[in-house]
Structure 1
Amino acid sequence: MKKIFILALLLLTLCCHASAASSIQIDNVTSKEVNNYIVNFITASGQNYILDSATEYGLVFTATHVRENFLGIQVATQQSKLNFTTIQNGNNVVLSISEVATLYYNSGGVDVQPVNDSVTERSLLNMVKQYFNGRYMFGYTLSNKKVDNGYEIQAVEPGFPAELAGIREGDIMVSINGQLTKKIPKKKIWTTDFFNPFLGNPVKFIVKRNRVEKSYTITPKFIPSKYMLDKKTAE
């Protein structure tokens, strides 16, 4: 009996831990609009998620995957549930996301596993907010590979703050706001606290060109979303 109680408590702990969601506020929008956009995006993404339930308060997507051992033999079926919660707060919506993975083993066992990928969650939340509220941009693109202790800048947008400050294609991004880029995975660069794409705060960059480092302090440019432009036109 004691073992059953401990197992139940463990599963409850995992479920509670898994349901701890990341959240973001999206301004001047309704829950219905946010939910519709998420459904369209997930459907068009080509991922294995199917809409399981939809209410005015949120969405649940389910995906099923086969888990195999090192011999390629199926040992379990994994069911992943991606939960979006939308709470209307006046003219704004608070959007939360969490994910729970449940493993159903062929032997009959069940294992609930929390999915704690804060980088992916934050990236997805930022993408939804960006669609409705726009974002600030510097106008450069980093390569995927690290070179010379940083990321190479593979493109610079004409007329954007990065180009106007003097940054050029082929430069090496060494640090952003004092954090060395060689220690940061690329996908995490725009989801960490040192840069918020929804604030227009100046950011300090150290860029290397021909083995010479130079410091830049650049204020990003606000880029309104198509949703905002269409809404303004309608008004």
Structure 2
Amino acid sequence: MAMLRSRFQWLTVLAILISLGCMAPRSFSCTGDFHRSVGSSNSFGLGRNSKGHPRPLQARATSRDFGGERSQGLVTALVAAFSTAAMSLLQGFLHRTLWVPPFGAVALIFAAEAVEAAKQGTLLRRKPITDRMVKACLGVATACCCTVVAAYVFGDTPTMLRTAVMFWAAFSMTLNPGAGYFPPAGALCALYVERAVSKGALPGFEYALFPCATGVGLLLLFTRLFAFLVSRPVWALRSRFGQDQDVVLAKA
């Protein structure tokens, strides 16, 4: 029964990864339909130039603007918060550890990247997401595998263990040609080390895959998805506000 439950949990996570990945067409951007609406009906209401022609370049720039640093910071915070909530709910459903403290830094990093990608119109493009996920997940998995080995070798000397783990966590990501240099991996390795130092029960190499690499991949997908969902109403409100401004200026 326990084995069937474990397989069901893994199949659920795999289905989520595949379904989220399939949501992103290769050439789709979160502002794609906004660009089409600007070309056809000037729905952003940015007015016209002195010759009466629409200004599509200004419309495109505005569609990718959140209205300043504070507004962009608010959107980033919402994306990070919603992604964390999704991870927590999924963890409760699967009854498996998905969220660990170092993922706080990962959520903020990915949220900021997702908001910046939304501004550039590349939020849901498949290749950048796939490249980022592969490099980050491989970097984390490689570093954590080295940490498990170091814990068995230097487990009785805390200072040596911490030192060796940080060295191999950094150097292993450089040695692995498919991995990217992903600094939050060091925090995941440090978490494992402190468990080893406290003589607590330690997982084996599966720690590198679950929750580390799996959690990183899920956070990347969740932040992209929620950035897409949050940015659309924000841009719609800014579009409406721009239309109202043009009406006032036209009457003046």
Structure with bigger RCO (C-alpha 8 Å, 6+ apart) = 2
The verdict on a shared fold, with TM-score over 0.5 as the criterion, is no
- The structure in which a higher percent of residues are strand is 1
- The structure in which a higher percent of residues are helix is 2
TM-score, with structure 2 as normaliser = 0.30
TM-score, with structure 1 as normaliser = 0.31
